Amino acid sequence: MQYVVGVLLLICFFGLIVYALKGGNLMFGILIMAVLWTAIPLIGNQLVTDPAFIAANADVINVGFKDTITKVFQSSPENWGKVLVTFIFGAWFGRVMLDTGIASAIIRKTVELGGDRPGITAALLYIVTAAIFTSMFGAGAVVAIGIIVLPILLSLGIPKILALISYMLAIGAGFYINPVGFAQYQVYYLDAAGNNTVFYDMTYLKWGFIALGIQLVVAVLFTCVQLRGKKAVHAWAAQATMPEETKHVPGIALITPFVPVILTIAFNWPIILGFLMAAFFAMAVCGEMKTYKDTVRMFSKTFFDGVVDTAPLVGISALIPMFNAASALCVPYFQALLGNVVPSSTLIICIVFMVIAPLGLFRGPLTLAGAGAATLGILKSLGFSNTFLFPLMYAPTVTMNISCCITQSWIVWGLTYTNVDGRDFLKRTIPTGWIICAILAALTFVMFGNV
């Protein structure tokens, strides 16, 4: 009987993949999966008769109906509230960076350093973009920075497809150590009681910084190599979307994007305090706190805007803990069905991830921003540690999906803005992203293969 239940659960898994690939609403898909992966094991628990299976999984099978549904549908999403608060403060900080003009000032200063040399200035801009996105996040920030960076790259004669791809890769590079991005996916690794099992600490950050470096180097090389031998391009073009007006930003303010991450990493301070300190520091040095009224106005406006920026994450992130808790109920059935099929070796799993990395595209089974939640559920049930699984799944999620896929909201914006054809974009991003993911899967094995 346990095999029948296991097969039914797998059918649901493939159903979610097909649903995600067809562009179904992921929030609704996750909710349906949470319901199915709760209902099917609950029914299965009543029907299994194999004494050895029941004895081995008594802690899951013998939990009462009411306790189970309370855990899945009430306590798990309630506990996610902690992560939501991090989102909100992170988004508010991003808004402060934009509204004070710090983000655009950093980019201007970078261009003033490099001048009209396309390769050097582009490389500097990618480094700065990655640095900015170590603390900022969201489509609003990508657009706000993009309408400054992309026209500069185009005015230097860099072909728009190179400019767009490298800009998106640079954003993804920064995302590897972005505390808000981390929190967004940390939620997939909560235990059944809703507690964190992976942490934004040096265990992860060592891997995160290397991942950032690898993706950034690839972004820079991608432009520099493709620019070699390319001829100068001069385009008569106009920008329909306006860059924000230039504000005076003192030099000291330019350290702002690094403050939250430094406080967290170097002093182990809470990240929300880091965001608060960095944001008020930015507002103070940029002259936005001259009077009490100015301070309150800026604080309220940026906070409201920041909360709006979190909206796309709120819905799905509130439902994922339900799915996590439901997947814990499926563990005995997946182990029975797949325990001898799916390799239990971290080396083999890493090699498989190297080979099938493009399945992180199109919301496929390797991205946590898609059907990857189901894959993760299975891998967790087979006994792999979360410390190992987090970087393993994060690479295709960040690189393949967030940095390379045309289903990512801000990439859709970028394609429209620069008028780059989606197919041309994918022809270049798939091999590029694949290389990065393969390197990162190898790195994951080296760093966490024995954890």
Place of tokens 């929190």: 183
Other C-beta atoms lying within 10 Å of the C-beta of residue 389: 23
User: x/- contact string, 239-268, with another protein (CB under 8 A)?
Assistant: xxxx---x----------------------
Task: Please identify, using beta-carbon distances, which residue of 63 and 139 lies nearer to another protein.
Answer: 139
Q: Work out whether 84 is an interface residue with another protein (CB under 8 A).
A: no
DSSP element (H, E) containing 309: helix 292-338
Q: Work out whether 232 is an interface residue with another protein (CB under 8 A).
A: yes
Other C-beta atoms lying within 10 Å of the C-beta of residue 221: 13
Task: Please identify, using beta-carbon distances, which residue of 242 and 266 lies nearer to another protein.
Answer: 242
3-state secondary structure of 228: coil
Report the C-alpha dihedral over residues 90, 95, 101, 107, rounded to 10 degrees: 60
User: x/- contact string, 130-159, with another protein (CB under 8 A)?
Assistant: ---------xx-xxx--x--xxx-xxx---
CA nearest 183: which of 200, 171, 204, 203? 200
Question: Tokens standing for 405?
Answer: 């896929």
Q: Work out whether 74 is an interface residue with another protein (CB under 8 A).
A: no
Q: Work out whether 312 is an interface residue with another protein (CB under 8 A).
A: yes
Q: How far apart are the first and last CA of the chain?
A: 33
> Taking contact as CB under 8 A, which single stretch among the options 68-76, 79-87, 114-122, 187-195 is the one that binds another protein?
114-122
Q: Work out whether 430 is an interface residue with another protein (CB under 8 A).
A: no
Site for another protein in 329-388 (CB under 8 A): none
Q: Measure Cα distances from 283 to 88, 142, 182, 277 in Å.
A: 18, 21, 26, 10
Q: Work out whether 287 is an interface residue with another protein (CB under 8 A).
A: no
Q: Site for another protein (CB under 8 A): which residue of 344, 345, 419, 450? A: 419
Give φ, ψ of 246 to 5 degrees. Answer: -70, 130
Q: Work out whether 111 is an interface residue with another protein (CB under 8 A).
A: yes
Question: Tokens standing for 190?
Answer: 């909560």
Other C-beta atoms lying within 10 Å of the C-beta of residue 46: 10
Site for another protein in 39-68 (CB under 8 A): none
Least Å distance, CB 395 to another protein, is 22
CA–CA separation, 301 vs 286, rounded Å?
16
3-state secondary structure of 1: coil
Q: Applying CB under 8 A, what is the total number of residues that bind another protein?
A: 52
Task: Please identify, using beta-carbon distances, which residue of 15 and 243 lies nearer to another protein.
Answer: 243
Q: Are 367 and 39 in contact (CB under 8 A)?
A: no
User: x/- contact string, 196-225, with another protein (CB under 8 A)?
Assistant: ------------------------------
Task: Please identify, using beta-carbon distances, which residue of 345 and 409 lies nearer to another protein.
Answer: 409
Q: Work out whether 78 is an interface residue with another protein (CB under 8 A).
A: no
Least Å distance, CB 49 to another protein, is 46
Q: Work out whether 108 is an interface residue with another protein (CB under 8 A).
A: yes
Q: Work out whether 227 is an interface residue with another protein (CB under 8 A).
A: no
Q: Work out whether 85 is an interface residue with another protein (CB under 8 A).
A: no
Q: Work out whether 309 is an interface residue with another protein (CB under 8 A).
A: yes
CA nearest 170: which of 403, 378, 409, 350? 403
Counting Cα atoms < 13 Å in the Cβ hemisphere of 4 gives 8
What is the separation of C-alpha 32 from the centre of its chain, rounded to a whole number of angstroms? 23
CA nearest 414: which of 145, 155, 24? 145
Q: Site for another protein (CB under 8 A): which residue of 70, 416, 431, 451? A: 416
Least Å distance, CB 122 to another protein, is 12
> Taking contact as CB under 8 A, which single stretch among the options 198-206, 221-229, 387-395, 417-425 is the one that binds another protein?
417-425
Chain residues in the site for another protein (CB under 8 A): 108, 111-117, 139-140, 142-144, 147, 150-152, 154-156, 160, 231-242, 246, 304, 307-312, 314-315, 409-410, 412-413, 415-419
